[in-house]
Chain A
Amino acid sequence: MAEYTLDCLGEACPVPLMKTEKKMAELEIGDVLVVSIDHSCAMKNIPDWARKVGHNVEVEEVDDGEWEIVIEKLK
C-alpha cells in the first residue's frame, strides 16, 4: 500500500494522461498515485480514463487552477 506522486504541473495535454497511464502500469494493486496537474482538460480526461479502466478516483482542487488526482489501483 505505497503512495506515489507524479508531478505534471505545466504539462499540456495529452502528456499528463500518457504519464499517468505509464506510471499506473508500474504500480501494485492497492497502491495510490497522486498526480498534480494544472491543465484544465487533464482534470477531466485523467479521472474519466481511470474510472473507465476501473480504478478508484478522487479529484481535489488544491489551488486556483491546480488539482491533485488521487488514483487507487484496483486491478
Chain B
Amino acid sequence: MNEFFNKIAKNTYYKKLIKNPFTYVTGAVLLSVFQIAIFASSGNPWGVTGAFANWGAWIYELFGGSVDKWYYFSDAASQATLESGVLNNGASLQDFGIIIGAFLAVLLASQFKIKKIKSWRQVIAAVLGGLLMGYGARLAGGCNIGALFSGISSLSLSGWVFAAALFIGAFIGSKLLAKYFM
C-alpha cells in the first residue's frame, strides 16, 4: 500500500497537477471561473468576512450576551441567520470549506506541517492584525474578497475606493512590519 503511494509521489502528472504550485495566472483564472459560477448559481458573489461577525455573535451568545439590539444585526435577514445556527448558514460552511480545501491541498502535496508560533512579536502581530482586519472589514462592508474582488466584479465604485485605501494601508503596514515585526 505504502509502495503504491510512494510510486504516485514520483509520477510526473502527480507532480505537475497535485504537487507543484500552479502559476498565479492559473490561480486567477480558476478563481474567476468559480467566482462566476457561484454568482450564477446562488445569485450572490463570494464573501468571507460576513460570516465572521455571525460567528462572533454566536460565541457572544454562548457566554450569555445578546446582539438583538445591535444596529448591525437588526434587519430581518441577519436575525433569521442568527436564529438558524451555524450549520444552516451557507456562508459559514463556505468558510469552513476554505480551511478544509487548503488542508486537502497540502496533504495531497505531502506538505503538511504544523507551524508553531516562533516569538511574541508574531503573537502581537496576529492579535493586532486580526483586530484591525475584523473591525475594518465591518466598516468597509467586506474584505479582499467581498468588498474588493466581488465589489469590483459587480461594477461597484466602492470596490475601487476600497482598493485604493487598501493599497495605502498595505504601504503603512509594510513600513510598520519592517520597523517593529522583523
Q: Does B181 contact A (CB under 8 A)?
A: yes
Q: Is the CB of B113 within 8 A of A66?
A: yes
Q: Is the interface of B mostly helix, strand, loop or mixed?
A: loop
Write the chain B residue with the least CB distance to A10.
B118
Contact, CB under 8 Å: A65 / B111: yes
Closest approach, in angstroms, between the C-beta of A63 and any C-beta of chain B?
Answer: 8
Q: Does A19 contact B (CB under 8 A)?
A: yes
Which A4-22 residues sit within 8 Å CB-CB of chain B? 9-12, 14-15, 18-19
B177 beta carbon closer than 8 Å to chain A: yes
Is A23 interfacial (CB-CB < 8 Å)?
A: no
Which chain A residues border B177 with CB–CB below 8 Å?
14-15, 18
* Nearest residue, chain B, Cβ from A43: B21
Contacts of B117 in A (CB 8 A): 10
Chain B: interface residue total (CB-CB under 8 A):
16
Pair A40/B116 contact, Cβ less than 8 Å? no
Question: In the assembled complex, which residues on chain A have CB atoms less than 8 Å from the CB atom of B182?
Answer: 15, 18-19
Is A64 in the interface zone, CB < 8 Å from B?
yes
A38 in contact with B181 given A10-B118, A11-B118, A12-B122 (CB within 8 Å): no
Q: Which residues of A contact B (CB under 8 A)?
A: 9-12, 14-15, 18-19, 38-40, 43-44, 61, 63-66
**B binding-site residues for A, Cβ under 8 Å:** 21, 106, 110-113, 115-118, 122, 174, 177-178, 181-182
Contacts A38-B115, A65-B112, A65-B115 aside, 18 further interface pairs with beta carbons under 8 A come to: A9-B118, A10-B115, A10-B116, A10-B117, A11-B118, A12-B122, A15-B177, A18-B177, A38-B113, A40-B106, A43-B21, A63-B113, A64-B110, A64-B111, A64-B112, A65-B106, A65-B111, A65-B113
